[in-house]
Chain A
């Protein structure tokens, strides 16, 4: 049921139009927000927790994370540069003002919000139904609408905002929160744990195959609001879920910090497929503005023969710093990472994955495609660790870089650690430049330079795009076109 035909190649006309667009999600919705005062301290954390009527244990968990964060220092090993972040100069809570309670149906949703989604290309009631996708739309920090709940509920699937899950399924949240990404994991994960405001929660019961792709659209809206989502997905024995995450943000001059945490847990024979198309504002041509995207994403293949597959297309953000990873604990479990990261103008990306093999006969596949254009800097950083316990483990890594122009950079940092002699590890890496030969060949057949570049890049990314659900593959291809605008003179 979730078998998808490979996506058809994008239509030329669509690419053409896409190439000639400015960042089209650059607008600001006029909605009054309820803002916490600027700054970060224990009182702010208490305020967030109180606003969300959280239980005491969660407040304590946040405070412990905060105290831990205070002892940590911001990492500087990544291959990106940015001015120091003033963590006291941001609001840590913002909620769209609505009457009293969160709306229970679309009719109750602020029409201005709905128009925002329309502009974003997310007409909930139509697109959700047509595409068979349930959308849990997060506007700033509070979930405002959830569709297809009922249909999912019939199968015992829980899909909703994190805040609701805390209220309705505290035992699940308490059991799994921080079980894959501990609060002390890294600086940004600790920060997130202290101040996260909302996100998505998914629970797939034993033996259930989720009948639709679950999708969340995030959008950063409030000025100077750091956004800290928390996503937790649990797949019980023998279950299957495909989760889509797509993002856009309005145009801003201030840099906006984004530090999400995503935790996935797959039990015996369960499969989680997590796909991301990231289209946050990358800053202008000179590097002004743009989102800082410092994300911790990790999945735990806890059970035997479980599988976690990450697919990401990263075209936005001024700085991207993320390594969706897999802990392969269960014997014969499988981890996959398929990634396209594009940097144009002054964008910087340091991204990759970690595959930690613990169980016997665990397998992992890494396919990373980095595209650098303009003055973009793109680094692949990947760790494959095969522990002594992981007899017969196998890894295959392929890491390709494509350069467009001569001002950009591609860097590869593979880390291999193998502690068992029965393991097989393969690593392949290539770097190529869109050549004058290829461009001339395409133009000699009647293609414009822009179309030729789009086509060559699409071809380069095909291995990753075919892992994406169909509608995402089309969107991803368009995004590449938009993001590459002006990259060839």
Chain B
């Protein structure tokens, strides 16, 4: 088994409830380093549940199946430990933290992750150089770095900020939860550029979206349809185009 083909994330027969309602009902999916997978599907299919559950959000009940990340049981880890191990969730609705500077927040996060790896805290000057370099990618200026985290940011600014965080924290597994929602065409191109710049052989992406237009920028390796809590169809990029043209109706009856 070559290193390139070792699975980064293996989800097997995953069942998850929210309160009494089963949401994920036997989901199986494998991501290898270097791959980008897109997940599409109708509203309420469980797409966001999957992203949040993988990141460790409370309120979800695990009722069956396994999730292995780098060969370890991901579900045994607290949310911060998942983050420190390289799991990153780009939020659909990034959260505001008034009074805390964007740059300070990011440095604190980076240092928490470095500390968990036994590394030293990053030098302040090195950090500023790093952030500025990454910020350029998504056209975030110094003023935005100094503003409070997401406080008063526009929808597009919030999403760009998520990509900046991802670029600085350099996770191994990137979960993008409807990162394209609420973006105009220019912002979509900018965010896509930021994501594409992060693609390399060591990293895998799980991109949740409703629309093909994001995927036309990202060119994912695989496209899956999540419906009624399971992957009902998998294919390549052409599947997304077909879905865009035909909708989900023709799939709903599929087993």
Contacts and interface: CB of A to CB of B under 8 A. Distances in A.
B112 interface: yes
B89 A444 contact: yes
B39 interface: no
Contacts of B108: 12, 447, 451, 455
Interface stretch (B63-71, B92-100, B213-221, B245-253): B92-100
Given A448-B112, A451-B112, A455-B105, A443 B80 contact: yes
Contact of A446 (B91, B95, B100, B113): B113
Interface string A446-489: 11110100011011111100000000000000000000000000
B109 A459 contact: no
B82 to A, nearest CB: 8
Nearest to B95: A441
Contacts of A87: none
Contact of A443 (B59, B83, B169): B83
A132 to B, nearest CB: 25
Most chain A CB inside 10 Å of its own CB: which residue of B58, B78, B94, B100 = B100
A425 B14 CA distance: 58
A302 B91 CA distance: 55
Given A437-B95, A456-B97, A458-B99, A446 B80 contact: yes
B55 A442 contact: no
Interface in B90-120: 91, 94-101, 104-105, 108-113, 116
A435 B98 CA distance: 13
A446 B116 contact: yes
Interface in A252-296: none
B99 A448 contact: no
Contacts of B110: 446
Given A445-B169, A455-B108, A463 B99 contact: yes
B84 interface: yes
Interface in B101-142: 101, 104-105, 108-113, 116, 121
Contacts of B121: 13
Counting chain A residues whose Cβ lies within 8 A of the other chain, the interface size class is 20 to 34
B91 A9 contact: no
Most chain A CB inside 10 Å of its own CB: which residue of B84, B105, B110 = B105
Nearest to A15: B108
A446 B111 CA distance: 9
A460 B151 CA distance: 12
Contacts of B91: 441, 444
Contacts of B58: 436, 440
Contact of B99 (A13, A440, A449, A460): A460
Most chain B CB inside 10 Å of its own CB: which residue of A443, A460, A461 = A443
A438 interface: yes
B57 interface: yes
Contacts of A458: 99-100
Interface of B: 55-59, 78-80, 82-84, 88-89, 91, 94-101, 104-105, 108-113, 116, 121, 148, 165, 169
Interface of A: 9, 12-13, 435-438, 440-449, 451, 455-456, 458-463
